[in-house]
Chain A
Amino acid sequence: MKLLTLNFLTCARKTCKTNPAAFPLHPREAELEQIEAEINPLLIQNLLPRINWEVLKTISQELGLPSLPESAPDSEDFMTEEGEPTQTLKDLHTLLMEMNVQNGKLVCGSCEHEYAIKEGIANFLLPSHMV
């Protein structure tokens, strides 16, 4: 599961939806793997305003990745004058699209329920008493 995806996930329990502590979910015992992906500057540039940078910073820190800059990069710094992707864009691409949590769990900060991640796929099915 990509780090980008964690910006769009929260606890599956209805009672947690309104609790700010349920977002983002916290990765634990995470096995990270970098999986190469084709860079799409148009997508990243347009996704940037949709990404909660604070969330991304928190998650990166919890995963023990190098700390991110205080604020999100400026998309004007994404392409060189020759129209090639800059290092800023490449780094962001790696972080959002290539870093994957392959195994581990996601923990809700509100109810502390743990969702397993196996072979890159998080499982949000709840036992019936928790629905």
Chain B
Amino acid sequence: MSEPVANGEAYEEEHVHEVYEQIASHFSSTRYKPWPIIERFLQGLAPGSVGLDVGCGNGKYLAVNRDIFIVASDRSPNLATIATTHPPHSVCVADILSLPHPAHTFDFAISIAVIHHLSTATRRTAAIASLLAPLRRGGRALIYVWALEQEGSRRGWSEGMEQDVMVPWVMRGKKAKKGKGGGEEAQEDRTFHRYYHLYRRGELEESVREAGGVVVEAGYEKDNWWAIVERGEGEG
């Protein structure tokens, strides 16, 4: 499988957006522990900082710091609804390529495990540019994407392997219950497949530079590449 299709938007609708919409509540119940680097980034912000969480999922990073204000968004209305339970923050439904935020305004942005769901290199770079545009000068974005180099994980991907992959999400069915009137019948497991682009070493930084950003810090943590990025001096 190479770059999936010419029409990235329609492809992502079927292989990313619809899947998350269907698995939202099960997905959310498995996502509650914040990753340490992201937690530290959010806790290090000054009180009153205003920022974005683009692709907030169930909103697990909205629980980290209550002295800042985050306008979070997700492409899935079901996930956005789950994410609304974290005061003082705000949640809306939006697409990373068409964010409803004014330019040059925000102190920070995070986008965790989102940009790897865009299905062409052009769209992934555009997503980074879109994340940087709302930042004020000196504002910083933290980006996490899945790595190709995951030798230690059960998935076993490694350097040189195919980077565009379909990753299964298994929603376990219910076991049969005995009871009056026959009880409940067993439900079969359901498997959904999500599209991912797995980033190889250095690829995230390349994409950031192409998007007009400057990498301040970058690294690898638990099967992910991450980067802290500032807007370049070029624009505005």
Binding site for B on A (CB under 8 A): 1-2, 4-5, 8-14, 17, 23, 25, 37-38, 40, 42-43, 45-50, 97, 115, 119-126, 128, 131
Contacts and interface: CB of A to CB of B under 8 A. Distances in A.
Contacts, number: 102
Nearest to B90: A5
Nearest to B9: A128
Interface residues of B, number: 35
Given A9-B100, A17-B133, A42-B47, 4 more contacts: A8-B50, A12-B100, A43-B67, A121-B93
Contacts of B100: 9-12, 25, 115, 122, 124
Contacts of B50: 8, 47, 50
A84 B103 CA distance: 37
Given A46-B48, A121-B77, A12 B90 contact: no
Interface in B63-94: 66-69, 71, 73, 75, 77, 80-81, 84, 87-88, 90-94
Nearest to B51: A8
10 contacts: A4-B69, A4-B90, A17-B102, A37-B87, A40-B67, A42-B48, A46-B46, A46-B67, A47-B69, A128-B9
Contacts of B46: 46
Contacts of A38: 87
Contacts of A5: 71, 90, 92
A13 B98 contact: yes
Given A8-B71, A9-B71, A119 B81 contact: yes
B101 interface: yes
Give the interface centre of B81, B102, B103 by most chain A CB atoms within 10 Å: B102
A59 B88 CA distance: 20
DSSP majority for the B interface? loop
Give the interface centre of A4, A14, A43 by most chain B CB atoms within 10 Å: A43
Contacts of B75: 125
A8 B93 contact: no
A123 B100 CA distance: 10
A16 B80 CA distance: 25
Contact of A121 (B48, B67, B88, B91): B91
Contacts of B88: 37, 40, 43, 97
B93 A43 contact: no
A12 B98 contact: yes
Contacts of A23: 102
